Structure 1
Amino acid sequence: MNTFAHIKPIAQYNKVSYYSVCIEGNEISLFEEFITHHTSTNKKKLNHVLDWIKLIGNKYGAQSHLFRPEGETADASALPPKGIERKPHYTEYGKKKANNIRLYCLRANENVVFLFNGDIKTAHYAQDCPNVRKHFKLANKLTKAIDSAFANKDIVWNDDCTEIDCEDDFKLQF
């Protein structure tokens, strides 16, 4: 059975354009679902990820080392970046800690990132975690579909590869 989604612009910063996808029949994107869910339950962890999205968007650009690999065979990556030494720090009870929330995404290039969904990771491997497994699997399916759409020229780059373009009625099939 095929599932369809459409691409939705999320935010434009100095160095990065962010997009997400809306699964068929839903006008709320996966990223917006992530924000809605975690605003009430994990606000501090969510704000840490949102700070990274802004920092990457305005200061660094979507450099590959700022995205967390989530498995050797995974196509999607995640935020926040690895390491508690990276600023902005996540702190809990006044101490620097690793943030275990994961937002799965596709870093298409240094200027374009697709933001999907995620949750609190409770196991070493995403595929073993009951919270993030479904988000991780969906992000990998969407990443493959988006890569295929680029290859088929259903999604194209603008002249300086800082934004994407596709037909208004384009549906991503995965």
Structure 2
Amino acid sequence: MNRFARVKPLFKFKQVAYYSVCLEEDEQTLYEEFVEKHTNENLKKLYHVQKWLQVIGKKYGAQERFFRNEAQYADASALPPIGKDREPYYIEFGKKKANNLRLYCLRANPKVVFLFSGDLKTAKKAQDCLNVKPHFELANALTKAIDQAFRDKEIRWIEEDALITCDEDFILEY
């Protein structure tokens, strides 16, 4: 059974433009749903992930080193970066900790990132975690579909590959 999504721009910083997708007839993007859920449940962890989006977007660009590879053959990656000693730090009970909130995404190039969804990772591997597994699998399916849409020129690069465009009625099939 094929599912459908629409590409939607989210926000743009000096170095990176962020996009997401709305599934089926939803008005909210996956990223907006992620923010809404974790604003209520995991605000400090969410703030840490959002701070990374700002730092990457404003200062560094979407360099590969900032994105987690959650599985050997995965197409999607995740934020925040690996480790607890990268600024901005996640602080819990007064100590630097690794943040287990995962936001799955597609780093399309150093200037464009698609943000999907995620959850609290409670197992070593994303495929073994009941919380993140559905988000991880959806992110991988969407990443494959978006990559194909780029190859088919249904999604096109503009402004020296710093932004994307697609027809207003474009529907992503995944």
Smaller-chain TM-score range?
A: over 0.9
- Distance in 1, Cα, partners of 2:170 & 2:128: 34
CA distance in 2, matches of 1:141, 1:103: 15
Quote the Cα distance in structure 2 between the aligned partners of 1:112 and 1:25. 24
Q: Partner residue of 1:123?
A: 123
Deviation at 1:62, TM superposition (A): 0.2
| Structure 1 unpaired stretches of 5+ | none
Counterpart residue number, 2:158: 158
Q: What's the offset of the Cα at 1:70?
A: 0.5
1:5, CA displacement in angstroms? 0.3
Identity %: 59
Question: What one-letter code is carried by the residue in structure 2 that aligns with 1:41?
Answer: E
Q: How many angstroms does 1:159 deviate by?
A: 3.7
What are the equivalent positions in structure 2 for 1:1-150 lying under 5 Å apart? 1-150=1-150
CA deviations 1:17-36 (Å, max 9, x no partner) are 00000001101000000000
Residue 55 (structure 1) shift: 0.5
Once the two structures are superposed, what CA deviation does each residue of 1:140-162 show, in whole Å capped at 9, x if it has no partner?
00000000000000001004000
TM-score with structure 2 setting the length: 0.99
Amino acid at match of 1:93: F
Take 2:47 and 2:158, find their aligned partners in 1: how far apart are those partners? 31
Give every structure 1 segment of 4 or more consecutive aligned residues whose post-TM-superposition deviation is greater than 3 Å.
none
The code of the aligned residue for 2:25 comes to G
CA RMSD of aligned residues (A): 0.4
What TM-score do the two structures reach when normalised by structure 1? 0.99
**Equivalent position amino acid for 1:2 in 2:** N
Q: Secondary structure at the match of 1:123?
A: coil
Q: Which amino acid aligns with 2:38?
A: H
Alpha-carbon distance in 2 for matches of 1:25, 1:75: 25
Q: Distance in 2 between matches of 1:168 and 1:42?
A: 35
